[in-house]
Structure 1
């Protein structure tokens, strides 16, 4: 399946598409955004007018079946990812779906199966896999500057946001039927996917998930341990009701360690016996753009493959699901 130019349609043109993703489809070579959809038609129309998009819809099926839409980008909450992905696949159209890929690993597998049966590629919006900051970390690991990797640790915690303190108007990100879980699914998914990219797949997982803040039903703290197929160990702690915001990942080897944040703009730091080196990176204005470039290159046959697929995205859903499964059995 090759295209001369990739014509995109967005299902769910909400906040994430305003700067992070939407403009990237119009700025990448051999790519254009031709249609958007939102259930509230007036909002879809407003988005289309502000962003110079020719068509808008208030119905996802109509966008999927538009003959001028080649590829469907699904930017709704995870609760509807499976439904729209399967519909797009049946229409013979490649899919780019937001993260986390779906509510759970089982839904991810259904999406993979549907796209495989239809012969269309499935991409997932773990856009850090294409950003220079994380490519630098991968380069450092592959150059063996920290020797044999022994373990990876993640510490991420933050203050509770004001929008979770009103139980009558909770954001979708803390509603498990829409998000798969709580903020752990929305935020930790980025880190866990990045560790998959840097260190390879995880083969065993154990975790504890509870709710300490009592602002909502979903888990608000998760602690997990995992074993990568390579033999590297991993441990992570995510808390969303702490007193300050901390975002730190460390990959430790026999000759040194690499420290970096998932969401912050602080430098990538390499510490070895020779001292400490740092590299700073400005985040892309449109954070999806480097990954969209990779997708368009693959779909137009220019070269290369997108590093974030349904297969890789499903692995992250599985790891998260294993870490919280005891909480949702209660």
Structure 2
């Protein structure tokens, strides 16, 4: 069994706990190099995580012969650029979510990797987590009958300006992230619904900047139509009095309620009552998806989160934000 040697481009906060340790914890996997534009920070990360190599230049890491697969953990504005360079070097790619700033960038990334004959994976790690596989298992086994509709509600308190930089995070700077917190957070839910219920055929939506704290949209509502015939609605508000996160999938015999981001129990409700499934999230939350990538590269498994599936989520978000983006021009 081959040990897959990983390199990380962009070893920021998301790699400290969520992903970075997962490359060491997965079987037949090893993190051998990290890169950050600030060399001192790259060196510090490498020292703290026992990584043998560090770089302040992405192309040097990509072309390192000891790196088999590259994980791109930068903001979305750089995903396409680095994916194309990895494909040119013949290296498989694992890119953070959202896959890119828009669907057009996603298609360029997919095409480059297909032309190079290298796989492209996206960090929608919920596809590999037990709690979401439990929801899918309940759906697939017919526990709530024929699926009728799904509702998504997420609201959060408004972001605050960073005390050190005096600026808002890059996640609400459209030229870097592609939009606001909707792109960052709704992408997880839309992807997991794609996984559980099948692809979304089309969507439409309305967005606005209600609080006017930054340039990006801070509220989005949407209507969803799945290929299966299931219908859906979503509301995402990022300037609310409190935080709330809940999804409901309603069928002919019952419903399933679950949170995308919190550790609330998965609830199965039927005419016979409610059953609660308490399924904890792993500390290093990307480990299971990383393991599936390692296994696929070694010919043992098929990863559930690819460039193709990741691009579908970007396409749906583009459709939802289409009128808002047009009005902003």
**Is the shorter-chain TM-score for this pair beyond 0.5, marking a shared fold?**
yes
- Given candidates 236, 241, 244, the residue that maps to 1:243 is 241
Rounded Cα–Cα distance in structure 2 between residues aligned with 1:166 and 1:316: 33
Rounded Cα–Cα distance in structure 1 between residues aligned with 2:153 and 2:131: 19
- Given candidates 118, 121, 124, the residue that maps to 1:123 is 121
Q: CA contact under 8 A between 1:179 and 1:185: conserved in structure 2?
A: yes
- 5 Å-filtered alignment, 1:1-330, equals 4-163=2-161, 169-301=167-299, 303-330=300-327
Q: CA contact under 8 A between 1:112 and 1:310: conserved in structure 2?
A: yes
Rounded Cα–Cα distance in structure 2 between residues aligned with 1:196 and 1:141: 13
- Mean Cα deviation higher: 166-175 or 142-151: 166-175
Rounded Cα–Cα distance in structure 1 between residues aligned with 2:35 and 2:58: 6
Rounded Cα–Cα distance in structure 2 between residues aligned with 1:98 and 1:298: 18
Matched residue pairs, number? 327
Report the TM-score when normalising by structure 2. Answer: 0.98
Q: Secondary structure at the match of 1:235?
A: strand
- How far residue 54 of structure 1 moved from its aligned partner, in angstroms, is 0.4
Root-mean-square deviation over aligned CA pairs: 1.3
Rounded Cα–Cα distance in structure 1 between residues aligned with 2:55 and 2:263: 37
Instruction: In structure 2, list runs of 5 or more residues that go unmatched.
Output: none
- How far residue 276 of structure 1 moved from its aligned partner, in angstroms, is 0.5
Q: CA contact under 8 A between 1:167 and 1:215: conserved in structure 2?
A: no
Which 4+ stretches in 1 moved above 4 angstroms?
164-168
Rounded Cα–Cα distance in structure 1 between residues aligned with 2:164 and 2:96: 26
Rounded Cα–Cα distance in structure 2 between residues aligned with 1:319 and 1:216: 23
Q: Secondary structure at the match of 2:157?
A: coil
Rounded Cα–Cα distance in structure 1 between residues aligned with 2:162 and 2:238: 10
- Mean Cα deviation higher: 14-23 or 163-172: 163-172
Q: CA contact under 8 A between 2:159 and 2:168: conserved in structure 1?
A: no
Provide, for residues 259-317 of structure 1, a one-character-per-residue CA deviation record: whole Å limited to 9, x for no partner.
Answer: 0000000100000011100100111010000100111111112x220000000000000
Q: Secondary structure at the match of 2:239?
A: coil
- How far residue 161 of structure 1 moved from its aligned partner, in angstroms, is 2.4
Report the TM-score when normalising by structure 1. Answer: 0.97
Q: CA contact under 8 A between 2:6 and 2:67: conserved in structure 1?
A: yes
